[in-house]
Amino acid sequence: MIGALSSLASRTLFAFDPETAHGLSIRALKSGVIPPCRLPEDPRLVQTVAGIRFPNPLGLAAGYDKNAEVPDAMLALGFGFTEVGTLTPKPQTGNDKPRIFRLVEDRAVINRLGFNNEGHAAAFNRLSSRAGRPGIVGVNIGANKDAVDRVADYVDGIRRFYALATYFTVNISSPNTPGLRDLQARESLSALLGAVLAARAEEAVRHGRSVPVFLKIAPDLTEEGLDDIAAEALAHPLDGLIVSNTTLSREGLKDKSMANQAGGLSGAPLFALSTRVLAGMRRRVGPALPLIGVGGISSAEDAAEKIRAGADLVQLYSGMVYGGPGLASTIVKSLSTILDRDGVSAIRELRDTRVDHWTAMKL
Ligand SMILES: Cc1cc2nc3c(=O)[nH]c(=O)nc-3n(C[C@H](O)[C@H](O)[C@H](O)COP(=O)(O)O)c2cc1C
């Protein structure tokens, strides 16, 4: 039933342009017309990562619920965790429309939204109204386009949401804010992580609880760039890396008409690239640092393969554009089936089993 409703929902939304469809889907989730799909917990899928107990390894990636309007509705769809944002201190409108494009043949999306969001205060009020409810809600933080001091915007995010976030994601990998990805360069990254993690340490003392901080990186880095990020991740008390954001590459697309649109590409064509970068990162950082694999997941097999390539947890966004709101529960249920099939007693046993395969892959 949920499968039929889910595909009906995504087919209906396809009648609208992508940004209108996104707004309608948020309204539908808020209104409760999309039925929740509470899954019984499979103990084999439960893991503690960065000190947080995750009921299953599948999360909603940042960018769908930018303004923290529907975190509980997303969790009710079967996601083990959800991530709101990217949130910037001041509200901003983002780039001119149209700025989201579907590449249907490729099961992909190009977006150049540019961190459109209602700002910290609006999201803070929404998250405050759900404070104390169960469910893992990460807060993804960024910098305003016109920020004079970008690092200060990230520090603001940590301080503002400290009491409400289960974890933070420091997003320095959106391709749609000019210069943002420059924060991935070694010296800038070191200064950013130093400031963000110092703010976290102060807040941890004040609140009596250390909130994990993850760093979200791009898939378009050079080998040297990845070396630098790995070195900085290990040099600071960072809790993990999210690999990856959207790509600037247009390699291998069938839909040539949209390929020239500026912005970040996500969905199926990002799977191989982001998975190879993930495996390369696992090899660099060793077994202890948590990694979250994102990019092109649309099935339980895709999710399992990210875990085999080095991920502790995974996230998706674009897959849901094509698969509908029932996708999360379908994937989580099918992960259990994969464990049955492979005679595996805990999902973490899959981790790293195909790191070599992915790092050797030529794209
Ligand atoms: C429309 C859209 C908006 C996005 N906005 C954000 C964002 O605000 N912050 C962020 O960190 N990632 C953002 N992303 C990137 C996703 O979180 C994810 O990293 C990327 O899309 C790859 O995953 P996917 O192939 O499953 O979509 C956005 C992606 C899409 C498609």
Which tokens belong to 229? 């990020």
Q: Contact, 135 vs 179, CB < 8 A? A: no
Confirm whether 215 is domain-assigned.
yes
Ligand 1 pocket test target in 99, 116, 246 with most atoms within 8 Å of CB: 246
Ligand 1 neighbour 61 (Cβ under 6 A): yes
Confirm whether 12 is domain-assigned.
no
Confirm whether 309 is domain-assigned.
yes
Arithmetic mean of pLDDT over the chain: 94
Ligand 1 neighbour 92 (Cβ under 6 A): no
Ligand 1 neighbour 114 (Cβ under 6 A): no
Task: CATH number of the domain at 284, please.
Answer: 3.20.20.70
Cβ burial, residue 33 (10 Å; 0-12/13-18/19+): exposed
Strand-pair category, 108-111 with 264-267: antiparallel
Ligand 1 neighbour 267 (Cβ under 6 A): yes
Confirm whether 15 is domain-assigned.
no
Q: Contact, 91 vs 122, CB < 8 A? A: yes
Confirm whether 250 is domain-assigned.
yes
For 143-189, how does the pLDDT look when each residue is reduced to its tens digit (9 = 90+)? 999 999 999 999 999 999 999 999 999 999 888 888 888 887 888 99
Nearest alpha-carbon partner for 236 in 175, 182, 305, 289: 289
Closest ligand 1 atom to residue 242 Cα is 19
Range of the domain at 69: 39-359
Q: What is the mean pLDDT of residues 26-55?
A: 92
Confirm whether 30 is domain-assigned.
no
Give the per-residue pLDDT at 5.
61
**What is the number of alpha carbons within 13 Å of residue 297 lying toward its C-beta?**
33
Confirm whether 25 is domain-assigned.
no
Q: What is the pTM of this model?
A: 0.97
For 247-258, how does the pLDDT look when each residue is reduced to its tens digit (9 = 90+)? 999 998 998 888
Q: Which position among 10, 173, 174, 266 bears the catalytic label? A: 174
Closest ligand 1 atom to residue 297 Cα is 26
Ligand 1, atom 18, residue with closest C-alpha: 245
User: How many domains does the chain contain in total?
Assistant: 1
Give the per-residue pLDDT at 184.
78
For 85-118, how does the pLDDT look when each residue is reduced to its tens digit (9 = 90+)? 999 999 999 999 999 999 999 999 999 999 999 9
Closest ligand 1 atom to residue 244 Cα is 19
Q: Is 174 a catalytic residue?
A: yes
Nearest alpha-carbon partner for 161 in 117, 202, 125: 125
Confirm whether 193 is domain-assigned.
yes
